[in-house]
Structure 1
Amino acid sequence: MRRRPRGAPAVLVGHRVPVRARPRGGGSGTASRNRDGTRVRGDEGRRPREFGATKGVVHASSSAWKPACDAEEIGSNVVESVNALDEFARERDFELCVENIPDGWFSVHDFDGLFAETDASMTLDTGHARMDGLDSGDIAAFVERHGDRISHFHLNDTRRAKDEHLPFGAGTLDFRAIFDALPDDWEGTLSLEVFTLDYGYIETSKAYLDELL
């Protein structure tokens, strides 16, 4: 396989660096939270870069209760927030990657619209895509259509439409087909999402990933 990721993304161990935008009602702005819960605003919110990270993953979502809300208005607000965060990130040479969240405001089925209305990159979570009804062939077709916007992968293996986070290769997703759908010049990054306390499974997952690459 010719395409090769640029390397593993920086991992912020033991730190929480969420970022929020408030496009309506309290003005626009960005914020991060320190470990003690205090809010950091403006240019101080550059902590990921200080740790060597060049990209970050966000969820384009809302806590608004869908049955009681205007879906079009909430969706528009979320898109506005993504654009505000993306602009903030680009000014600091940082890449914003929006993750597909199953049964959320922007699942994998909604990314055509998000791509059309924002310039943000995507984090494709393979397990989340499976939860939203895509099989390996469907995921590969999505990657073929949008490989130029996918900058990062959460490699989340699963045997069924559940968020299982199995050791890489232990599930039924055909990652070879998914990777083969990427453009030949793709230079994104990959994260193995394996939920385990046994690091032997991590080692096995990494070895299998290296075989595919």
Structure 2
Amino acid sequence: MTRLNLGYGTNGLTDLRLPDALALLADLGYDGVGLTLDHMHLDPLGPELAARTKETAVLLGRHGLSVAVETGGRYVLDPRRKHGPSLVDPEPEGRAARTDLLVTAVRIAADLGATAVHCFSGNTPPGTDPATAWRRLADSLTPVLAAAEAAGVPLAVEPEPGHLLATLDDFHHLRALLGDPEPLGLTLDIGHCQCLEERTPAACVRDAGPWLRHVQIEDMRRGVHDHLPFGEGEIDFPPVLEALAATGYQGLTVVELPRHSHAGPELARSSMEFLRPWSGKAEAC
């Protein structure tokens, strides 16, 4: 049974400078980091991106951390519209801006030696029929998948509550629309499984195994999309983590607590304590 490679998301450490966040995670025993590209941590739209990416690669190497690139920054493209514009935006210019951001993320990921690039679809705009929204999503992702294939970095799409692509079944619908391209994989958020999937989180993990390229983890309650620290929700974690280890998944399993940055260092510590029995580093100790 594969031991898990544990990471923590920088979107839960936004009150720390990136070098301080990476040092903290290394000291706590994490294997890697889910690096959200945003204005506070490796801004993908800022100046001298190549130089800053190189500096980040050096820091990751110094601390022995692997990395997955995440693209869920709330206002990285539009300072007034959360997660806007999206891949299914009504305006072609908006969709193109999101596509360009993801292509940039793929290039950053290649330079960092990342395990995957994460993304999600976005909400279906009001008045948009499903067929149109799915066509926009497929068309918007096509250049990103081409970049991912060229870079040798998988693109891991996340089912997100409330979005066009919200469930595992939706992920498979996208795969079919795109012709099941090799670079297309799945980000599975364990909390989201508890929130809205009909199957248990452990069953979702088993079903998703062949397509897993990135995993996010936190506690959650049924029907409530609120990322919670471990023990504050309803998930029975041992069966979930055992199922995940049994898949042979070797990417990062990243703690995702984006609304808890005010307590980020303490939650990074307590999350590692909770997850340590399944950690690859724990096995080596």
Of 169-178 and 145-154, more deviation after overlay is shown by: 169-178
Q: Match for residue 143 of structure 1?
A: 205
Give unpaired runs (5+ residues) of structure 2. Answer: 7-30, 45-70, 72-76, 78-85, 280-285
Q: Are 2:212 and 2:249, in contact at CA under 8 Å, matched by a contact in 1?
A: no
State the TM-score, normalizing by the size of structure 1. 0.76
Deviations 1:147-191, CA, capped at 9 Å, x for gaps: 010111111212342232222233221222122223442212111
Hey, what does 1:11 align to over in structure 2?
35
- Please list every run of at least 4 consecutive aligned residues from structure 1 whose deviation after the TM superposition is greater than 4 angstroms: 18-22, 24-30, 42-45
Residue 77 of structure 1 is matched in structure 2 by 136
What CA distance in whole angstroms lies between the structure 2 residues aligned with 1:44 and 1:142? 27
How many residues get paired? Answer: 200
CA deviations on 1:25-80 (whole Å, 9 max, x unpaired) are 679895239xxxxxxxx889723433443421111235522xx1221121122123
- Determine what percentage of the aligned residue pairs are the same residue: 22
Q: CA deviation at 1:132?
A: 1.9
Residue 107 of structure 1, aligned match among 166, 174, 195: 166
* Consecutive unaligned residues in structure 1, runs of 5 or more: 34-41
| Equivalence for 2:100 | 31
Distance 1:28 1:161, change over 3 A: closer
After superposition, where does 1:134-173 map in structure 2 within 5 Å? Answer: 134=198, 138-173=200-235
Distance 2:152 2:268 in 1: 31
| Mapped partners of 1:164, 1:138: distance in 2 | 17
CA contact (8 A) 1:56 1:95 kept: yes
| Cα displacement (A) at 1:209 | 0.9
Rounded to whole Å, the distance in 2 between the matches of 1:84 and 1:77 is: 12
Change (3 A) 1:55 1:169: same
| Matching residue's letter, 1:193 | E
CA contact (8 A) 2:217 2:253 kept: yes
The offset of 1:102, in angstroms, is 0.8
The SS at the match of 1:82 is helix
Please say if residues 99 and 125 of structure 1, whose CA atoms lie closer than 8 Å, have aligned partners that are also in contact: yes
The residue type equivalent to 1:177 in the other structure is P
In structure 2, do the counterparts of structure 1 residues 141 and 85 end up closer, same or farther at CA, with 3 Å as the change threshold? same
Provide the alpha-carbon RMSD of the alignment: 3.3
Specify the alignment match of 1:39 in structure 2: none
